Structure formats: C-alpha cells, structure tokens
Structure 1
C-alpha cells in the first residue's frame, strides 16, 4: 500500500489525476488546492464547473483548516453516521476556487477508508473525490464498470481493491452556519 500511496502523491503534486478506491465508489481525484487539476477533473467528467465536486479530508483537523467555521452538529453527524456521509459547509477556504460552489459552499467528507486516510494524511491536503464516470452516466459500482474514457483520462490508476465491489455513493447533507440541515442525498 505504501508504494501505491507514494505513486499517487507524486501524480497529485504534479497536478495529475488519479483513479482510486474510496470508502464509497471508485473516484477520480486530484489536489483539491490546485485549480488546474480541478479543471482537468471537470473536463474529464464533461461536467459543468458550476456542479461542485466533493473533497476528502483525513481527519477533523484538516476539515477545520478548510472550513471557516465547522458547526458543532457536523461532529455529531460524522460520529453517528452508519455510512460515509458528505457534508456541505458554508465558507470554505484554502481550496481551489473552482471547487467552491456558486453559493460559497464546499462538500467535504472525512474519509473512513484506510487507504484514503493514509494517502490524504501523507499528502497533507484535501483530495477531490468524484465518481469515476462521465457526467450523466451511471456510477460504476466496481472497478470493472469504469469506462475507457475515464481509465485513459487519468494519470495513474491505483492497483488495489480492483476485484472488490464498492459500496454506494455517500449520503450528502447540507449544514448551514445558521443551523439549517438539509438532506441532499440519502
């Protein structure tokens, strides 16, 4: 696993795209602080950049570095969730401008997968995580379902967990600083 993490970090540091297993589905990833890399993800997915992407952090401390004020409720949701849960926060900071939604929010998930946690910890920055498909096409549930355009469009494909079925996309909850909670995807 260490070798795979090191290869990913080399690609991420150079603005490249990786295809990697996450705590949900296989994801296309890049350095969440690199605007050009984020733009490459939008181009590969053929997705409008007004449709925000999710990013992964390794732990609460990294979350707090990239969100102006993390509501207390967020920690309860993270701790009590029985499946991976992405939370949309107000007022992100220190990430690529084109990763931030038009309403000044950012979707972030604290990774629960061992590989993702190690990778993000060692990289020391959030990593974009978006499903490994062209926008509008079905989300691949396993590595074998990922289409050629995505496989050829990334700079590195992680050589782990390729024979495992992945879970389902994460739940998404919007958590505003005024206390409003809205379930976007269960």
Structure 2
C-alpha cells in the first residue's frame, strides 16, 4: 500500500491506520529528514526478524536504530546520560543525527546480543514522529539502500514502492528523500566521536 502524507500536516486518520498495521506486526517504509527508512514496532519480535532477514543480517549483530518522537523516550532505553552529552543531544535533535548511547535493560533482548549500546534518532520530520507518538514507543529503523553502487539510496517513493511492496505493508510517500544519511555520533564512551559523517553539522 502506498500512502501519500504531507510533512507540514500529516493526516491523523492515515497515521492511526499505519500505527494499527505496526501494532499487528507490519513493516513500513517512511521518510525521515535524511534517507528513506524501513522499520517496525521495536516490541514486535517477528516484525523485527522479518526486517533483519530482508537485510540479510542477524538482529543481534545489526546496527538498527530506534526512532523516537521526542526526548521522553531517551531515558526509557538508555542508561543515565551525562549532562554534557544530554546538552549536545538537545542542541542537535530533532535533526539528521543518530546518537549511540549506553543501553539499559528495557531494550528488547533480541536487539542486544553482546552489544551494550543503542542508536537513537529523532528526525526533523513530522510524519515519522507523529507515527511514533501515536504508537507510544519507538520504531526500529534501518536505511533503504540501493543496489546501484553510484547511487547509494533510492529517493523516489514510487520507485521504492515498486521495489519493496512485497516486503513492506505500507510505503509512505512523503516526497523525495535525501541522498545523504544521518551523521552517527558515538556518545557511549569517554569521548564523543563522529563515526560516520552524514547530513548535518554537529553543534557543540
């Protein structure tokens, strides 16, 4: 199913319908403030396994991130965040950044494996944030990649739908996506380290 939503004012009825699909274990493809993402409800293990199988990776070895709607979910899944790190996050989110933080025991076990961290995203995109808010907990996220070695990411939602309609229950057309992914910032150690340069310049 291809659903057109507008970032300025996503239709609440469509948002509710999409959330119902997520609650039933559905997989969705959605716009962010960077590239298009694929995800599902983090509490639904079967849906998470479906995405991992599609990506050809084991969940516990994956680098899936959690998309949150606001800062209230941070403490749900992370250990206490040092003040200087929290200030950095507040300054840069919502925005095109993934922050790697120490995970707490609320992160579903099937994500963790031997990993002690979780990647957190709060995109500057009203569509996906409205979906997460209605759902009531984060969704798991992974980027939609392209097989073309020159063009890393597919940006046209209609092409994404053609390609992924057998995998995703809903593809959200939120307009053309970006070609540059999020910047990944590791805040889980003593030093703050940029592990992938993407969109956005980190403000300290």
The structure-2 alpha-carbon separation of the partners of 1:126 and 1:165, relative to structure 1 and needing over 3 Å to count, comes to closer
RMSD between superposed Cα atoms in Å: 2.4
Kindly indicate whether the alpha-carbon contact (under 8 Å) linking 1:52 and 1:100 is maintained by their aligned counterparts in 2. no
Kept in 1, the 8 Å contact 2:36–2:177? The answer is no
Partner of residue 26, structure 1:
36
Q: Check 1:32–1:134 CA distance in 2 against 1; reply closer, same or farther (3 A cut).
A: farther
CA deviation after TM superposition for structure 1 residue 142, in Å: 3.2
Worse-superposed segment, 33-42 or 70-79: 70-79
**Residue of structure 1 equivalent to 2:73:** 62
CA positional deviation for 1:89: 0.9
Assess, with a 3 A threshold, how the Cα gap between structure 1 residues 181 and 115 changes in structure 2: closer, same or farther: same
CA distance in 1, matches of 2:77, 2:148: 29
2:155 pairs with 1:141 = yes
Q: Give the aligned length.
A: 183
> 1:181 and 2:192 equivalent?
yes
Q: 1:165 to 1:17 in 2, by over 3 A?
A: closer
Whole-Å separation in 2 of the counterparts to 1:52 and 1:135 = 19
Question: What is the CA-CA distance between 1:147 and the residue it aligns to?
Answer: 7.1
Aligned to 1:106: 118
Q: Which runs of 5+ in 1 are unaligned?
A: none
| TM value normalised by structure 1 | 0.85
Q: Please say if residues 19 and 151 of structure 1, whose CA atoms lie closer than 8 Å, have aligned partners that are also in contact.
A: no
1:13 aligns with 2:13: no
The change in CA–CA distance for 1:46 and 1:149 in structure 2 (over 3 A counts) is farther
| Contact 1:46/1:134, CA 8 A, preserved across alignment | no
The equivalent of 1:79 in structure 2 is 90
Work out which of the two has the higher radius of gyration on C-alpha atoms and give 1 or 2. 2
Q: Does 1:43 align with 2:21?
A: no
Q: Deviation per CA, 1:81-107, whole angstroms, max 9, x where unpaired?
A: 385111111123323323236321111
Q: Compared with structure 1, are the counterparts of its residues 98 and 150 closer, same or farther at alpha carbon in structure 2 (3 Å cutoff)?
A: farther
Unaligned runs of 5+ in 2: 1-10, 198-204
Are residues 150 and 71 of structure 1, via their aligned partners in 2, closer, same or farther at CA, if it must alter by over 3 Å? farther
Structure 1 runs (4+) greater than 4 angstroms displaced: 134-137
Whole-angstrom CA distance in 2 between matches of 1:101 and 1:184:
21
Q: Take 2:54 and 2:162, find their aligned partners in 1: how far apart are those partners?
A: 11
Report whether the alignment pairs 1:2 with 2:12: yes
TM-score of the superposition, structure 2-length normalised? 0.78
